[in-house]
């Protein structure tokens, strides 16, 4: 189990990690995700020991390891560039950490053989990295990590160098490996699809703080803030500026410039009225052409994929994206009516914090 | 349609031919002096103008080594230039790595400042350089004489003297070659991801293990390129040995060639040509090696 408690990092006067608390349980596949510059790679390098920790505690299996050198932490890391030594064979690359420890050659060969078996690299042990495909290099990099029998494996955007087909395949392979090895994994990516498909726990980072942490579906269904709401899910959640008013006790009215007007039963009188934001995912808007709906808008772009259709409606600059099942024969310029699925939409205050509503609407 | 297809190869063949012709002409122009020297060196009666040898002989080469101190000159040249090259490789390897990895503010100014050494004509620096080396040499000579007798001191100074000694020439030659070598190595290390070292750190490699087992193997193409450049350039240097060396025993190949040319009465073209051919061989061989590394180093470094 790895524990980060109020961890901070400064580059000069610039604070890049602003007091982060994260817990990853044994055997968990945790994914740190966020836009570039959010501090996710820095955080990973701090766990690895490649960057110092300026404040807070890093605790691995109950032991504070802030000042333990990287190779003594029992942590292995797979680098984005794989960092395979071009002058060594696959076997030498995988066995490098053992040969540094002066392990007898026969023992190194045995262990390298075992690892190669798991990773299906047995036929390639005598090759140089340059003679391998992208996926094979990736597996060698993983082999170099798991031969150390680490209690934690770190991955720094490991799939970003692969083409999209291989990425899907490697995603499945990494999940299989994780199940077989029962290893604890911390995985950094900027790709929310990777995060959603592989993670037991997602940690969304934004500007050096944890925006939200939890199971992918928790983040999808109940985001804590506008940032997480728009970051998780693809296409991203629509955010509509709305005015909140309370025409009578127990009722909340939402209105916006597009003619949207919804009444909510509001059990909690503490919700402040005024400017707010309504978050609706593209899949939670229902399209119809019969004029019956919460509001109507003009279609700007139509993307027909056969199994589903994406519509961009409203203003061309900042359109609302709608996902509809099946193939719809709607053309740009048509006017459509949209119905909001009230049970699935989210309300945020003007600062982007979610307004939790105690009862379903 | 057919015309079009047929027309294209015809169209591209004529410029090709022209290009080949032009290149052949330039190659021949470059190769003629070498050929001339080789021919003259094998001619028993070589003259100023190129002629086909009437009698073929290796006598010119034999004379370089038997009558003159040719072997000594070759050794001197190889020793001085080789040592300077080795020094350049070590300093450029370490310095280039440091310059590539540091974020210090003086990095850019420093890199441009050292280029000045290369840009200034050495001839302009000869007088002050000589003065400095002479002062150092006198201090050093006095010290050596205190500890050893006069004759031993002279023998020692031949190796470690700053003027008329191997060490002085080696240091000056290395200094002249170091800026370019530092630039080559700095650029080379710039292209070498830090990930390699960090992966080695994660694997538990100590600083020495990182240098020996990761950095040196990775930097080898760059080091070879820097070293060969330094060797070729220092090998061709004539002015510095001329000024810094005076003892006949320390004479290098270009000096031997120069002094043979200056001899009164007769100019022995066959002898000069043989000496010249011996002199240019190491540079040509070095260039042969360099080509491989040059391509590797200047076309994007290590691909992993």
Task: Report pLDDT digits (tens) over B55-109.
Answer: 888 888 988 888 888 899 999 999 999 999 999 999 999 999 999 999 889 999 9
In this prediction, residue B271 has a pLDDT band, given cuts at 50, 70 and 90, of confident
Contact call for residues A347 and A355 (beta carbons, < 8 A): yes
Whether chain A has a CB inside 8 Å of the CB on B218: the answer is yes
Helix (H) or strand (E) holding A194: helix A192-198
Q: Distance (Å) from the C-alpha of residue A78 to the closest C-alpha of chain B? A: 8
Closest CA to A287 of A254, A328, A315: A328
- Domain finish residue from A171, A202, A231: A231
> What pLDDT shows up at residue A266?
67
Pair (A200, A309) in one structural domain? no
- Domain finish residue from A199, A231, A263: A231
Kindly state the average pLDDT of the residues A322-350.
88
Pair (A199, A266) in one structural domain? no
Is residue A196 domain-resident? yes
CA-nearest residue to A75 within chain B is B202
Nearest to B198 among A50, A75, A84 (CB): A50
Which residues lie below 8 Å from residue B150, measured CB to CB, with a gap of 6+?
Answer: none
Q: Measured between alpha carbons, how far is B82 from B76 in angstroms, rounded to an integer?
A: 10
Q: Measured between alpha carbons, how far is A222 from A218 in angstroms, rounded to an integer?
A: 6
Coil, strand or helix: which one is A266? Answer: coil
Residues in B 116-155 with any Cβ partner in A closer than 8 A: none
> What pLDDT shows up at residue A360?
45
> What pLDDT shows up at residue A341?
87
Which residues lie below 8 Å from residue B89, measured CB to CB, with a gap of 6+?
Answer: B181, B223, B226, B227, B230
Kindly state the average pLDDT of the residues A338-347.
87
Q: Measured between alpha carbons, how far is B72 from B259 in angstroms, rounded to an integer?
A: 15
Query: For chain A, what is the mean pLDDT?
Result: 90
> What pLDDT shows up at residue B149?
76
Q: Tell if the CB–CB gap between B304 and A130 is shorter than 8 Å.
A: yes
In this prediction, residue B300 has a pLDDT band, given cuts at 50, 70 and 90, of very low
CA-nearest residue to B210 within chain A is A100
Whether chain A has a CB inside 8 Å of the CB on B239: the answer is no
> What pLDDT shows up at residue B33?
86
Is residue A357 domain-resident? no
Q: Tell if the CB–CB gap between A82 and B204 is shorter than 8 Å.
A: no
Is residue A34 domain-resident? yes
The CA–CA distances, whole Å, from A94 to A297, B201, B210, B304 equal 59, 15, 16, 15
> What pLDDT shows up at residue B109?
92
* Residue appearing with tokens 């002085």: B168
> What pLDDT shows up at residue B64?
86
Kindly state the average pLDDT of the residues A121-148.
92
| Percent above pLDDT 70 for chain B | 92
Mutate to test the interface with B, among A100, A112, A127, A154 (most CBs of B within 10 A): A100
The string of pLDDT tens digits covering residues B224-235 is: 889 988 999 999
Q: What is the CATH number of the domain that holds A157?
A: 3.40.50.300
The string of pLDDT tens digits covering residues A264-322 is: 776 566 677 888 899 999 999 999 888 788 888 899 999 999 899 999 998 888 899 99
> What pLDDT shows up at residue B297?
60
Q: Tell if the CB–CB gap between A96 and B203 is shorter than 8 Å.
A: yes
pTM (predicted TM-score): 0.79
Mutate to test the interface with B, among A96, A133, A152 (most CBs of B within 10 A): A96
Closest CA to B273 of B77, B54, B59, B29: B59
Contact call for residues B89 and B228 (beta carbons, < 8 A): no
| Percent above pLDDT 90 for chain B | 38
Local structure of residue B69 (DSSP, 8 states):
-
Q: Tell if the CB–CB gap between B200 and A87 is shorter than 8 Å.
A: no
Tell me the chain B residues in contact with residue A101 when contact means C-beta distances shorter than 8 Å: 204
Nearest to A101 among B202, B204, B303 (CB): B204
The string of pLDDT tens digits covering residues A139-191 is: 999 999 999 999 999 999 988 888 888 888 889 989 998 998 888 999 999 99
Q: Tell if the CB–CB gap between A71 and B195 is shorter than 8 Å.
A: no
Q: Is A85's pLDDT higher than 90?
A: yes
Domain that holds residue A127: 2-231
Residue boundaries of the structural domains of chain B: 69-298
Q: Distance (Å) from the C-alpha of residue A171 to the closest C-alpha of chain B? A: 22
Q: What is the CATH number of the domain that holds A272?
A: 2.40.50.140
Q: Distance (Å) from the C-alpha of residue B194 to the closest C-alpha of chain A? A: 9
Pair (A248, A203) in one structural domain? no
Kindly state the average pLDDT of the residues A65-86.
92
Whether chain A has a CB inside 8 Å of the CB on B202: the answer is yes
The two three-digit tokens of residue B278, written as one number = 């011996």
Tell me the chain A residues in contact with residue B193 when contact means C-beta distances shorter than 8 Å: 81, 83
Kindly state the average pLDDT of the residues A71-99.
93
CA-nearest residue to A89 within chain B is B304
Coil, strand or helix: which one is B44? Answer: coil
> What pLDDT shows up at residue B154?
85
> What pLDDT shows up at residue B3?
45
Q: Distance (Å) from the C-alpha of residue B111 to the closest C-alpha of chain A? A: 25
Pair (A215, A270) in one structural domain? no
Question: Which of the two residues, A76 and B292, has the higher pLDDT score?
Answer: A76
In this prediction, residue B2 has a pLDDT band, given cuts at 50, 70 and 90, of very low
Whether chain A has a CB inside 8 Å of the CB on B303: the answer is yes
Q: Is A227's pLDDT higher than 80?
A: yes
Q: Give me the CATH topology for the region B69-298.
A: MetI-like fold (1.10.3720)
Contact call for residues B200 and B253 (beta carbons, < 8 A): no
Q: Tell if the CB–CB gap between A85 and B196 is shorter than 8 Å.
A: yes
> What pLDDT shows up at residue A23?
94
The string of pLDDT tens digits covering residues B157-190 is: 889 999 999 999 999 999 999 999 999 999 999 9
Q: Of the ranges A112-121, B65-74, B117-126, which is most confident?
A: A112-121
Whether chain A has a CB inside 8 Å of the CB on B191: the answer is no
Contact call for residues A6 and A57 (beta carbons, < 8 A): yes
Q: Distance (Å) from the C-alpha of residue B97 to the closest C-alpha of chain A? A: 18
Contact call for residues A287 and A337 (beta carbons, < 8 A): yes
Q: Is A65's pLDDT higher than 90?
A: yes
> What pLDDT shows up at residue B87?
96
Q: Distance (Å) from the C-alpha of residue A287 to the closest C-alpha of chain B? A: 50
Q: Is B304's pLDDT higher than 70?
A: no
Q: Is B12's pLDDT higher than 90?
A: no
Q: Measured between alpha carbons, how far is A223 from A360 in angstroms, rounded to an integer?
A: 16
Mutate to test the interface with A, among B105, B203, B221, B223 (most CBs of A within 10 A): B203
Give the count of domains, chain A.
Answer: 2
Tell me the chain B residues in contact with residue A76 when contact means C-beta distances shorter than 8 Å: 202
Kindly state the average pLDDT of the residues A320-332.
90
Chain A to chain B Cβ contacts (< 8 Å): 62
Query: For chain B, what is the mean pLDDT?
Result: 86
Pair (A273, A222) in one structural domain? no
Question: Which of the two residues, A264 and B210, has the higher pLDDT score?
Answer: B210
CA-nearest residue to B216 within chain A is A87
Q: Tell if the CB–CB gap between A85 and B303 is shorter than 8 Å.
A: no
CA-nearest residue to A87 within chain B is B217
Pair (A59, A198) in one structural domain? yes
> What pLDDT shows up at residue B298?
59
Pair (A131, A74) in one structural domain? yes
Q: Is B152's pLDDT higher than 60?
A: yes
Q: Is A361's pLDDT higher than 70?
A: no
Whether chain A has a CB inside 8 Å of the CB on B81: the answer is no
In this prediction, residue A357 has a pLDDT band, given cuts at 50, 70 and 90, of low
Both ends of chain B: CA-CA distance in Å?
46
| Percent above pLDDT 90 for chain A | 59
Which residues of chain A have a Cβ shorter than 8 Å from any chain B Cβ? 48-50, 70-72, 75-77, 79-87, 96-97, 100-101, 129-130, 144, 148
> What pLDDT shows up at residue A225?
93
Pair (A192, A310) in one structural domain? no
Kindly state the average pLDDT of the residues A244-253.
81
Kindly state the average pLDDT of the residues A71-90.
92
Question: Which of the two residues, B116 and A280, has the higher pLDDT score?
Answer: A280
Q: Tell if the CB–CB gap between B195 and A144 is shorter than 8 Å.
A: no
Pair (A226, A271) in one structural domain? no
CA-nearest residue to A100 within chain B is B205
- Domain finish residue from A231, A250, A281: A231
């Amino acid at each position: 189990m790895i524990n980060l408690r109020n961890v901070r990092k400064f580059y000069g006067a610039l604070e890049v990690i602003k007091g982060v608390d994260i817990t990853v349980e044994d055997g968990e596949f945790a994914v740190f995700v966020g836009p570039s510059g959010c501090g996710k790679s820095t955080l990973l390098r701090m766990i690895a020991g490649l960057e110092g920790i300026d404040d807070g505690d890093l605790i691995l299996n109950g032991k504070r390891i802030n000042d333990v050198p990287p190779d003594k932490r029992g942590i292995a890391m797979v680098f984005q560039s794989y960092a395979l030594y071009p002058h060594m064979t696959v076997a030498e690359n995988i066995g490098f950490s053992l040969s540094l420890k002066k392990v007898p050659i026969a023992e190194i060969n045995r262990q390298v053989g075992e690892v190669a078996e798991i990773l299906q690299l047995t036929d390639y042990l005598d090759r140089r990295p340059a003679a391998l495909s992208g996926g094979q290099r990736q597996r060698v990099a993983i082999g170099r990590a798991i031969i150390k029998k680490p209690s934690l494996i770190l991955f720094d955007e490991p799939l970003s160098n692969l083409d999209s087909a291989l990425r899907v395949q490697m995603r499945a392979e990494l999940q299989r490996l994780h199940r077989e090895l029962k290893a604890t994994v911390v995985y950094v990516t900027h790709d929310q699809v990777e995060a959603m498909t592989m993670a037991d726990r997602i940690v969304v980072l934004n500007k050096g703080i944890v925006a939200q942490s939890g199971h992918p579906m928790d983040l999808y269904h109940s985001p804590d803030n506008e940032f997480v709401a728009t970051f998780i899910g693809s296409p991203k959640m629509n955010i509509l500026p709305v005015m909140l008013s309370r025409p009578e006790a127990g009722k909340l009215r939402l209105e916006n410039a597009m003619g949207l007007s919804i009444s909510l039963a509001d059990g909690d009188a503490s919700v402040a009225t005024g400017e707010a934001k309504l978050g609706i995912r593209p899949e939670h808007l229902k399209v119809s052409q019969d004029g019956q709906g919460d509001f109507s808008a003009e279609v700007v772009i139509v993307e027909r994929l056969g199994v589903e259709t994406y519509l961009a409606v409203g203003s061309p600059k900042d359109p609302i994206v709608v996902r509809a099942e099946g193939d719809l024969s709607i053309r740009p310029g048509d006017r459509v009516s949209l119905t909001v699925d009230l049970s699935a939409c989210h309300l945020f205050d003007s600062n982007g914090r979610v307004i939790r509503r105690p009862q379903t609407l | 349609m057919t015309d079009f297809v047929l027309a294209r190869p015809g169209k591209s063949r004529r410029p090709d031919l022209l290009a080949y012709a032009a290149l052949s002409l330039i190659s021949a122009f470059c190769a003629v002096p070498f050929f001339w020297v080789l021919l003259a060196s094998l001619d028993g009666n070589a003259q100023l103008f190129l002629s086909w040898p009437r009698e073929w002989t290796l006598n010119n080469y034999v004379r370089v080594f038997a009558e003159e101190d040719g072997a000594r000159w070759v050794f001197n040249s190889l020793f001085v230039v080789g040592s300077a090259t080795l020094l350049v490789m070590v300093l450029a390897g370490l310095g280039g790595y440091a310059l590539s990895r540091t974020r210090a503010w003086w990095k850019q100014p420093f890199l441009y400042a050292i280029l000045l050494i290369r840009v200034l004509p050495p001839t302009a620096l000869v007088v002050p350089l000589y003065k400095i080396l002479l002062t150092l040499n006198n201090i050093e000579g006095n010290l050596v004489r205190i500890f050893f007798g006069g004759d031993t001191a002279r023998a020692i100074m031949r190796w470690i003297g700053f003027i008329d000694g191997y060490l002085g020439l080696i240091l000056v030659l290395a200094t002249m070659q170091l800026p370019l070598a530092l630039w080559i190595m700095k650029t080379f290390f710039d292209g070498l991801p830090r990930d390699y070292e960090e992966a080695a750190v994660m694997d538990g490699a100590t600083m020495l293990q990182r240098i020996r087992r990761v950095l040196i193997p990775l930097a080898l193409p760059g080091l070879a390129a820097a070293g060969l450049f330094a060797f070729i350039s220092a090998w061709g240097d004539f002015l510095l040995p001329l000024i810094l060396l005076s003892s006949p025993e320390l004479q290098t190949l270009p000096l031997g060639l120069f002094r043979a040319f200056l001899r009164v009465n007769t100019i022995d073209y066959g002898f000069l040509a043989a000496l010249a051919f011996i002199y240019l061989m190491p540079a040509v061989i070095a260039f042969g090696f360099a080509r491989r590394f040059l391509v590797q180093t200047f076309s994007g470094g290590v691909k992993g």
